[in-house]
């Protein structure tokens, strides 16, 4: 099965590479030198900044400078009146959400925590896991789209924090005991101290992988979008939607939304070109990213989160945790979309 999957991936890569090269050649042949040079300069700036930012972000992760979070967990877990294992799991989620969930699932099956504590802890683990994952691309996005990245992550981190506080508050109100909390950073599994030589090699490797992905995915899309925008090939969109929402769902927004399906970094690359041409605002980028979340989160959940959660948690508890998280995220995302449109109308 793995060999078959690997062959399919290789075939898909080759097909996309042919398409990408064809797109770039087509744009170069049918564009003037001014557009090619302008797009090339924008791409060089994007690749340079993203590469540096990805390297710095990887250094932060591999040096485990986020371990200070262990000292912040104690008051949070105490507030929620959760057992000490839930505190250790919360910090473990920074490095591996599956490892954190396995920790509390095993503790539940051994009778050390209740089902309520397991579910609440599983819900809370999603936030540090999400933050840890987001930090890997936060710096590249900041370098590409600046204020728009700040706005998007303020929403993402803020909603996650609000949800986590609500889970802890519910736990406090529904709990009848207040256990002793003992959290030790040294008990966090799956992490070791790397030397600076190892950190440099691993960080360069990660930055290289990201740049390679940008080269074969973002670059051809970048060139094609610049070409289409220059030749006003997105104008057909104006005939398909009401005038009242054209300010937000512009052709440029739809292009970013389409690129968002291929990942945030790819969408940021496309968005940075529109920003350079002053064809889009930062709020429109934030809106496109949030709409992209509404579309991609269910797909990502079905492919990754749900199978893992159902395998780790006993019974239907994994399904329950995932449904609660995704339902709340969807509700907040829709609310944010409504607020952004009305606030900036």
**Backbone torsion region of residue 177, taken as left when φ is above 0, otherwise alpha when ψ lies between -120 and 50, otherwise beta:** beta
Q: In the structure, what pLDDT confidence band is assigned to residue 343 with cuts at 50, 70 and 90?
A: confident
The larger pLDDT score, comparing residue 322 to residue 110, is at 322
DSSP 8-state secondary structure symbol assigned to residue 66:
G
The larger pLDDT score, comparing residue 9 to residue 40, is at 40
Between the ranges 175-184, 205-214, 311-320, where is the mean pLDDT highest?
Answer: 311-320
Cα 40 from Cα 267, distance rounded (Å): 17
The larger pLDDT score, comparing residue 240 to residue 172, is at 172
* Model pLDDT, residue 181: 46
Among the ranges given (157-161, 209-213, 220-224, 240-244), the one the predictor scored with the smallest mean pLDDT: 240-244
> What DSSP string runs through 182-248?
---GGG--S--PPPHHHHHHHHHHHHHHHHHHIIIIIHHHHHHHHHHHHTTTTGGGGGTS-GGGTTT
Arithmetic mean of pLDDT, 191-204: 79
Residues 6+ apart with CB under 8 A from 178: 78, 81
Q: What is the pLDDT of residues 123-148, one digit of tens each?
A: 999 998 888 888 777 888 888 888 88
Q: Please give the C-alpha separations between residue 101 and each of 2, 94, 258, in angstroms, as whole numbers.
A: 26, 12, 33
Answer whether residue 185 shows pLDDT above 60: no
Q: How far apart are the first and last CA of the chain?
A: 52
Mean of the per-residue pLDDT values of the chain:
77
Count of C-beta atoms within a 10 Å radius of residue 10: 10
Q: Please give the C-alpha separations between residue 119 and each of 16, 142, 244, 324, in angstroms, as whole numbers.
A: 42, 34, 43, 10
The candidate with the shortest Cα–Cα distance to 285, out of 261, 257, 306, 311, is 257
* Model pLDDT, residue 334: 87
Cα 143 from Cα 94, distance rounded (Å): 24
* Model pLDDT, residue 320: 93
Cα 102 from Cα 312, distance rounded (Å): 6
* Model pLDDT, residue 183: 46
Whether the Cβ atoms of residue 267 and residue 256 lie closer than 8 Å to each other = yes
Give the phi and the psi of residue 146 in degrees, each rounded to 5. Answer: 55, -115
Whether the Cβ atoms of residue 221 and residue 269 lie closer than 8 Å to each other = yes
Q: In the structure, what pLDDT confidence band is assigned to residue 168 with cuts at 50, 70 and 90?
A: very high
Q: In the structure, what pLDDT confidence band is assigned to residue 324 with cuts at 50, 70 and 90?
A: very high
The larger pLDDT score, comparing residue 260 to residue 192, is at 260
Answer whether residue 298 shows pLDDT above 60: yes
Q: What is the pLDDT of residues 259-290, one digit of tens each?
A: 776 677 778 888 887 887 777 888 888 888 88
N residues, the chain:
345
Answer whether residue 165 shows pLDDT above 60: yes
Q: In the structure, what pLDDT confidence band is assigned to residue 321 with cuts at 50, 70 and 90?
A: very high
Residues 6+ apart with CB under 8 A from 145: 268, 271, 272, 275, 282, 285
* Model pLDDT, residue 291: 84
Cα 130 from Cα 100, distance rounded (Å): 13
The candidate with the shortest Cα–Cα distance to 26, out of 233, 253, 289, is 233
Q: What is the pLDDT of residues 68-118, one digit of tens each?
A: 555 667 888 888 888 888 888 888 888 778 878 888 888 887 788 889 999
**Backbone torsion region of residue 196, taken as left when φ is above 0, otherwise alpha when ψ lies between -120 and 50, otherwise beta:** alpha
Whether the Cβ atoms of residue 247 and residue 295 lie closer than 8 Å to each other = no
Cα 218 from Cα 214, distance rounded (Å): 5
Cα 36 from Cα 49, distance rounded (Å): 20
Write out the two tokens for 334: 């829709």
* Model pLDDT, residue 103: 80
* Model pLDDT, residue 190: 45
Whole-number percent of the chain with pLDDT over 90: 11
> What DSSP string runs through 248-292?
TS-HHHHHHHHHHTT-HHHHHHHHHHHHHTT-S-HHHHHHHHHHH
**pTM score above 0.85:** no
The larger pLDDT score, comparing residue 239 to residue 121, is at 121
* Model pLDDT, residue 109: 79
């Amino acid at each position: 099965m793995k060999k078959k999957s690997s062959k399919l991936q290789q075939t898909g890569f080759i097909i996309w590479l042919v398409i990408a090269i064809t797109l770039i050649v087509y744009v170069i042949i049918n564009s003037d030198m001014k557009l090619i040079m302008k797009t090339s300069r924008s791409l060089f700036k994007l690749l340079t900044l993203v590469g540096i930012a990805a390297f710095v972000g990887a250094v932060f992760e591999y040096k485990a400078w986020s371990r200070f979070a262990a000292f912040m967990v104690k008051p949070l877990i105490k507030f929620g009146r959760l057992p000490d294992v839930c505190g250790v799991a919360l910090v473990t989620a920074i490095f591996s959400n599956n490892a954190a969930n396995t920790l509390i699932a095993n503790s539940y099956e051994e009778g050390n925590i209740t089902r309520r504590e397991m579910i609440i802890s599983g819900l809370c683990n999603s936030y540090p896991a999400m933050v840890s994952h987001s930090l890997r691309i936060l710096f590249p996005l900041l370098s590409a789209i600046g204020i728009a990245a700040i706005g998007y992550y303020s929403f993402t981190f803020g909603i996650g924090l609000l949800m986590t506080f609500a889970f802890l508050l519910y736990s406090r109100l529904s709990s009848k005991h207040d256990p002793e909390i003992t959290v030790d950073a040294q008990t966090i599994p799956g992490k070791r101290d790397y030397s600076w030589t190892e950190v440099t090699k691993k960080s360069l490797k990660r930055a290289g992988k990201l740049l390679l992905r940008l080269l074969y995915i973002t670059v051809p899309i970048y060139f094609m979008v610049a070409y289409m925008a220059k030749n006003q090939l997105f104008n057909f969109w104006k005939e398909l939607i009401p005038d009242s929402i054209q300010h937000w769902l512009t052709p440029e927004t739809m292009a970013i939304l389409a690129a968002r399906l291929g990942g945030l970094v790819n969408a940021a690359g496309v968005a940075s070109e529109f920003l350079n041409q002053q064809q889009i605002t930062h709020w429109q980028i934030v809106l496109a990213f949030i709409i992209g979340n509404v579309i991609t989160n269910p797909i990502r959940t079905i492919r990754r989160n749900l199978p893992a959660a159902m395998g780790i948690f006993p019974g239907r508890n994994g399904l329950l945790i995932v449904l609660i998280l995704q339902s709340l995220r969807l509700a907040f995302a829709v609310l944010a979309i409504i607020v952004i449109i009305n606030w900036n109308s």
